[in-house]
Each structure stands twice: as C-alpha cells, then as structure tokens.
Structure 1
Amino acid sequence: MDSYEVSTLKKGLLILDVLRQKHSLTLTEIMEELSMNKTSVFRMLYTLEKMNYVIKYNKYYQLNPHIFRDEHLYWHKDIQWTSLVAPYQLARQEEITTYIGILEDCEMVIKNVIREPFEQPDFHAIDTRTPMHSSALGKVVLAHLSPKKQREILNSIELNTFTTKTFYDYGLLIPHLQVIKAQGYAVDNEETNLGKWCIAVPIYVNEEVIGAIALHGSTEKIKKTAIRSFVKKLVNASQQLTEEIHYLLA
C-alpha cells in the first residue's frame, strides 16, 4: 500500500463505489464483492449509515439518493427511481427484465429498466415512452385511474396498431381496462411486440396510482401458466416500492 494511503478511508470509499455500481447489496454481498471480512464491512457500513452516506432498507444497503444525486436523468417527483431496491431484487430473483414506468401527463415514461446481469439500469432506455393502450405498463395505469383522468388520456391518444393483437377499438379497450382493474394486473400478450409478453401491476404513492412495475420477456420466458405466480411477486415488489418511496420522502 502507498505510504500516503489511509486504509480505513480507502475501504469506506470502496464500499461507496461498489454500491454506486450495484445499487443495492447486502452485507454479505459487499463482503464477497470486496473480499473483506464481516467485522470490517459491518463497521464501515455502520459509520457510513450514521453519517447518512448510506441507507439500509430491510437487509439491503444503498447510497443515500439525497446526497448522491443526478439531477438530469434519474429524479422524478423527488424520487430517484434507479436507486430503489425492489426492482433489482425482483429482476435478480426471476432473471427477467424488469421495467418501471411512470405516468407523465398523458404518457407512460420509462424510469428504470434492469436487464441481464440485473445489476445496472439500462440508461439508454430511461425516459423513453411506451404505448398507453398496448403495453402492460400503460394499460394497468389507465385501468386504475379515475374515470375522468382515464377519459382525458384516451381522448388524447391514437390507438396505433403494432401487431395483430393490438387493441385499436375503444369499444373493446374500455371493457378490457375494466377487467384489468378488477384483477389488479395487466398483460401485454404480444400486443406491442410479437414474441414478447409483459405483466404489470400498479405502483401507488399516497393511495394514488403514479406508475407501474413490470416483468418483460419472450413467450418462452414468460409462460401463460405462470402469470399468477409472476403477479404475486410483482405485487410484493410494488408494495415494497411504496414503502421505500415513503421512507425516502419522509
């Protein structure tokens, strides 16, 4: 080691750096990433948490987004979506691409996409748009809006056809949205892209739907028989997201 280096400080900075790269890790995962012993990692994390550089949610540690803040891409309504833990846990658990979409005006805007190896956001996809009437993200949000807001959005969009399965008739889409609201989730069954399925559930903040979380993959990866199982895991992730958001905004 260089004679001018301070080893303790260096270890602390290495922990901050690995959390910046991986976004959320357990104590054990940090130990493995940095080849450090449990006592050292625990003491470092305890100190960083006390100084507010790191926050702990459940067993996962992450950078405090109010200190490590990117003003350009990743903040929306005081929420840094790429820092939230739940989508990474879901993506790693299921090994399926995970999306977060947020309603902005009358559009669904992507705020995080986590693809294999499920560690980093796909930064190129952030702030792209997804169709309200064909994507699972858009449909599940539409279904859970107030009737007034739903009509406002439907009157402002065109029901463009992307595949032979896309809803292009308001007379069919509106009853479909009613079914989605009743069941609590939406499925994009190759309505936007052939060979691709997507399942989404809403995200609530202060009992208001603001967006959705979704799993997206090929028809081989997402089987029709597994939809109920995926929905249960998405609902759990959505509930955790709501808890995280309330924690960060408190």
Structure 2
Amino acid sequence: MPGYEVSSLKKGLQMVDLLRERRRLNLTDISKAIAVNKTTVFRLLHTLEEMKYVIKLGKEYELHPRLFQERQSVRETIKWSKLQALCRLGEQAKKDVFAGTLEGAAVMVRLAYEAETGQLADREITGPVPACQTAAGKAILAQLSRSEQLRLFTACEPGQATKHTFTDPDLFLRHLAVIKQQGFAADYEEYYPGLLCVASPVFCKDKAVASIAVADRLDVMPKSEMRSLTRKVINAAKEITRELNTYVSSLE
C-alpha cells in the first residue's frame, strides 16, 4: 500500500537492485537511473557502504562481495589470533604482521600480530584498499584466472597513487604471473610513498583465501633485508595453509 511506504528505504533498495543488474555504476549514473538528486543518492550510498551492502572503488560503486558469499565462507572462519605461525613470524621479523582478504577489487587488511606488544591480534586497520596496489592484494590476485585478474584490475581504476603504481593492464598481468611463480608479492611504494611490503598467499583446498604480509617504512626496512624477510613470510604462509586445511578437513 502506497501510504505505508518508506521512501528512503525504497530508494535504497532500488539502488541495490540497480547495482545487482548493472554491476558497477558511478554516482551520476545511479542518480539518473532512479531519478533522485545526487545529494540524496550520495547519502544513501554512504549509508549502504557503512552497512556493507555496497563498496566504493574509485568513483564507482558495486555490491559488497559478502552479498554473494555463503553465510560462513572458509576465510570467515579463520581466527587470526589463534595462528601461532603468525606469532613466530612476527617474533622473527620483529615487525607487525598483517592479514589480507579480497573483497571484490579491494583488499581488507587486518593486524594479525602486533610487534609492540608481542601479541597476536585480529582487528581491521583500514578500509578497502585497491588490491592491485598492495602486496597483500597482489598475492591473492596472482592465483586467479587471467580474465578475473583483468576484470579486477579494471574495477580498481587505480590511477597513479605513486610513481610506482601499475597503470598498464598487460604489464600488470605479466607481473602477476611472476608473483604466482615465485610464491610471493612485493610492493615497493606502489600504494604509499616510502612504504615497502612483502606478502604470500594462504590457501584452502587449492584456493587462495587470504594473504599474510609484513610492511614497514623504507628507511626502517631497506630492500637489502627483503630477501631474508621474504623467506620467513613464505614459510609462515605455508604453515598457516597446512593448519587451515587440517582444520577444515576436521569439520567434514
């Protein structure tokens, strides 16, 4: 019955249906499609983003990946604060350790080990970051099909965060092929000036479900130390992969 409608809720649901149908749109496209002014559309999108119904990538919006996932995916069952391999990696590296999970074309990064306290952790430290600009994201992207890699790179619309950011899709896909072969990804100031990062993928049943990473400032972690650190990160990722697969098998 028209008299019982909540207009703002109706507009929000129209936007969700629109993004489900057309996948990815910018604010202007959405405003025109549902015949609502940009200010109102922006406020509704902000609310939907806060509630994790949509995700913003560059200047465009798409539905949050969680809407397409099973209620309890494997990666959602990972208890980072229980994985002792992360603690060993943090103690060896004497640095914070991070865990990354792919959310559409973005990567969500959580602090998994805090060097200052020497304790395992499990807390989100940043919002969505373009996966193609970070080692944590690239380590996972490298395990996907070439067509999916290209789709997500295009969805990122990374622009040029720094002078080291990849902007050419062909070059980026070749870069991902090297990452897959070597088993780790490195990020030399691609997302933030002066920041270095190395990451390795974590697998469950041969599918990359996450990555673990160590990052620090260039003046604190020179490239000369990266080789030794990379081996530690790769070994820790393999250990977590074994632990995760054992745990999942026990549930079957």
TM-score range (shorter-chain normalised) is: 0.5 to 0.7
Alignment of 1:52-131 (within 5 A): 76-117=75-116, 118-121=118-121, 123-125=123-125, 128-131=127-130
- Once the two structures are TM-superposed, the CA of residue 135 in structure 1 deviates from its matched residue by 0.5
The amino acid across from 2:151 in the alignment is E
Q: Does 1:234 align with 2:230?
A: no
Secondary structure (helix, strand or coil) at the match of 1:187 reads strand
1:207-249 per-position Cα deviation (integer Å, ceiling 9, x unaligned): 1111211110111332222222112111110111112212333
Q: Summarize the Cα distance change of 1:102–1:124 in structure 2 as closer, same or farther, 3 Å threshold.
A: closer
The amino acid across from 2:225 in the alignment is A
Q: Summarize the Cα distance change of 1:129–1:86 in structure 2 as closer, same or farther, 3 Å threshold.
A: farther
Give me the whole-angstrom Cα distance separating, in 1, the residues matched to 2:180 and 2:241: 19
**Residues 197 and 214 in structure 2, CA contact (< 8 A), matched pair in contact too:** yes
Give me the whole-angstrom Cα distance separating, in 2, the residues matched to 1:201 and 1:76: 15
1:179 — aligned with what?
178
Q: Summarize the Cα distance change of 1:222–1:158 in structure 2 as closer, same or farther, 3 Å threshold.
A: same
Q: Summarize the Cα distance change of 1:160–1:122 in structure 2 as closer, same or farther, 3 Å threshold.
A: farther
Give RMSD over aligned pairs. Answer: 2.1
Give me the whole-angstrom Cα distance separating, in 2, the residues matched to 1:186 and 1:81: 20
1:142-190 per-position Cα deviation (integer Å, ceiling 9, x unaligned): 1121223223322322123221211122233222222222222111101
1:147 — aligned with what?
146
More helix by share: 2
Give me the whole-angstrom Cα distance separating, in 2, the residues matched to 1:84 and 1:160: 36
The amino acid across from 1:91 in the alignment is G
**Residues 213 and 234 in structure 1, CA contact (< 8 A), matched pair in contact too:** yes
Give me the whole-angstrom Cα distance separating, in 2, the residues matched to 1:78 and 1:123: 14
Give me the whole-angstrom Cα distance separating, in 2, the residues matched to 1:106 and 1:190: 19
**Residues 189 and 196 in structure 1, CA contact (< 8 A), matched pair in contact too:** yes
Runs of at least 5 residues in structure 2 that lack an aligned partner in the other structure: 1-73
Runs of at least 5 residues in structure 1 that lack an aligned partner in the other structure: 1-74
1:102-161 per-position Cα deviation (integer Å, ceiling 9, x unaligned): 123332122434233231426351x63232111111112111212232233223221232
Secondary structure (helix, strand or coil) at the match of 1:156 reads helix
Q: Summarize the Cα distance change of 1:109–1:215 in structure 2 as closer, same or farther, 3 Å threshold.
A: same
- Once the two structures are TM-superposed, the CA of residue 93 in structure 1 deviates from its matched residue by 1.6
**Residues 82 and 112 in structure 1, CA contact (< 8 A), matched pair in contact too:** no
2:45 — aligned with what?
none
- Once the two structures are TM-superposed, the CA of residue 78 in structure 1 deviates from its matched residue by 2.1
The amino acid across from 1:209 in the alignment is A
Secondary structure (helix, strand or coil) at the match of 1:171 reads helix
Give me the whole-angstrom Cα distance separating, in 2, the residues matched to 1:146 and 1:98: 27
Q: Percent identity?
A: 29
- Once the two structures are TM-superposed, the CA of residue 82 in structure 1 deviates from its matched residue by 2.7
Give me the whole-angstrom Cα distance separating, in 1, the residues matched to 2:82 and 2:110: 11
- The count of aligned residue pairs is 175
Q: Summarize the Cα distance change of 1:240–1:131 in structure 2 as closer, same or farther, 3 Å threshold.
A: same
Q: Summarize the Cα distance change of 1:246–1:99 in structure 2 as closer, same or farther, 3 Å threshold.
A: same
Q: Summarize the Cα distance change of 1:120–1:183 in structure 2 as closer, same or farther, 3 Å threshold.
A: closer
* TM-score, scaled to structure 2: 0.63
Give me the whole-angstrom Cα distance separating, in 1, the residues matched to 2:203 and 2:122: 23
Give me the whole-angstrom Cα distance separating, in 1, the residues matched to 2:198 and 2:111: 16
Give me the whole-angstrom Cα distance separating, in 2, the residues matched to 1:191 and 1:76: 26
**Residues 202 and 237 in structure 2, CA contact (< 8 A), matched pair in contact too:** yes
Q: Does 1:156 align with 2:187?
A: no
- Once the two structures are TM-superposed, the CA of residue 204 in structure 1 deviates from its matched residue by 0.9
Secondary structure (helix, strand or coil) at the match of 2:132 reads coil
Give me the whole-angstrom Cα distance separating, in 2, the residues matched to 1:222 and 1:158: 29
Secondary structure (helix, strand or coil) at the match of 2:214 reads strand
Give me the whole-angstrom Cα distance separating, in 1, the residues matched to 2:136 and 2:238: 16
Give me the whole-angstrom Cα distance separating, in 1, the residues matched to 2:172 and 2:138: 9
1:210 — aligned with what?
209
